[in-house]
Amino acid sequence: MAAPTVFKDVFIQIFDVNSVPDFLRSSLPAARKMPFGVVAAKGEYEKKQTSNENTTTANFLVQPFPKNKLKESELWDRYLDVVPDAAVPYWDRQIPFYVRLRKHDLNLGPGLRLEAGRSSINSFVTLNAFGWSTHLEIRLWGSFNPARLAEIMAGLRSRNNPAYVLNGAPAALKDIFKYYRDTLLADGFRPDLNVNTPDNYWHIANVDVIKATGQETKFTRLKTIDLNAFLSVLYPNHAPVQYEMSGEDRIPKVQNLLFTDIEGDYHNFSMNDFNVGAFTFLQAEALAGINEANEMCYARNTSECFWLCYGYFNFRRLTQDAGPTTKIGRLLKSMDQALLNLGRTLNNRTCQGMFRNHKDMPR
């Protein structure tokens, strides 16, 4: 009997998407005078990104995009697609600013029943001319079977369950998003935006297993009960699993889910629902406890690629009427080409699946 899979180290990334198309329209010239006005003008945007200087507002520290990340991350290197020593097209590619609260206290709540000292959480905002996203990065260490991890994920993603503690008070995911949103507004990001508009809750969650114990098994050979257990982590209401035979392998098929064979041997795999996020299990590395840096790199590249795409999809949907010679129209054209190039060159198989199959991807 095969040993059951137990997750020992899990990396979770959650982000929302908030698009602000009016920020670039000529009807808002006052936007450039705001504390965050640098994101509305190409010259100031690129000057600030290349300056290596941080900017402070009443509540935030605004930082240029890390230069080492542009060089060391395959995603950003392929996305920029520039020759060595060439100027980085920060504006045309909408490379974001990192925005961090100067003072706040965010922790995982007691309702998750996590072992003391065996978890961490980090939060920040990415900000560009398209809008902003609040990001949560969560690391869990311990022993979690798929059912237990599914329970934790349900709590973390719940609209109303107070799975977090924010500044000493219980908070649900929507409260975290709202806190960042309201603080950005209070610091002058969008003075024209009605603070009383409905709070955003739509988000993407990506789960990567970094270390695990158990028996390495091709996902095409998993028992249906075990495959359902993996699916339940992010997709508790998934459609029934069907199979398509390929030699001795059973290729699982689930409505609205994309299965990706990462290494070509069915051992390392990801599952992705474009409206939910991706579950990735690099079994060979996770079960052997090796190549953690590579696993973390893969996880970050996946989530950052998803953020690039979803932020752009939403902005483009809201600006379909923009003429090709307008500021917005030129940006849309530049981003279309950048994503097309990225889809051709990025080696991340989970992202490749998205580039090939997502209906909003430029063709």
Report pLDDT for 174.
94
Residue type, 237: N
| Alpha-carbon distances of 257 from 190, 206, 220, 286, 361, rounded to whole Å | 36, 14, 15, 23, 17
CA 206 – CA 22 distance, rounded (Å) = 30
Q: In what order do the strands lie in the sheet with 164-166?
A: 106-108, 164-166, 169-171
Residue type, 12: I
Of 170, 167, 175, 173, the C-alpha closest to 105 is 167
Q: What is the per-residue pLDDT across 46-61, written as a single tens digit (0 to 9) for each?
A: 999 998 889 899 999 9
Strands 277-282 and 131-144: unpaired
Report pLDDT for 320.
87
The CB-based long-range contact list for 267-270 (8 Å cut-off, 24+ gap) reads: 267/216, 267/217, 267/218, 267/219, 269/219, 270/302, 270/349, 270/350, 270/353
| Alpha-carbon distances of 296 from 300, 332, 348, rounded to whole Å | 6, 31, 12
DSSP-derived secondary structure for 281-338? EEHHHHHHT--HHHHHHHHHHHHHHHHHHHHHHHHHHHTTT--TTSHHHHHHHHHHHH
Report pLDDT for 176.
96
Report pLDDT for 1.
39
Of 327, 347, 343, the C-alpha closest to 39 is 327
CA 61 – CA 80 distance, rounded (Å) = 25
Angle value at C-alpha 151, between 14 and 214, nearest 5 degrees:
95
Q: Which residue has the tokens 């098994």?
A: 217
In a structure prediction context, what are the per-residue pLDDT tens digits for the chain, which is 363 residues long? 367 899 999 999 999 999 887 777 654 555 555 667 778 788 888 999 998 889 899 999 999 999 888 888 999 999 988 656 678 899 999 999 999 999 989 999 999 999 999 999 999 999 998 989 999 999 999 999 999 999 999 999 999 999 999 999 999 999 999 999 999 888 888 655 655 555 667 899 999 999 999 999 999 999 999 999 999 999 999 999 999 998 889 999 999 999 999 999 999 999 999 999 999 999 999 999 999 999 999 999 999 999 999 999 999 998 888 888 888 899 999 999 999 999 999 999 999 999 999 999 998
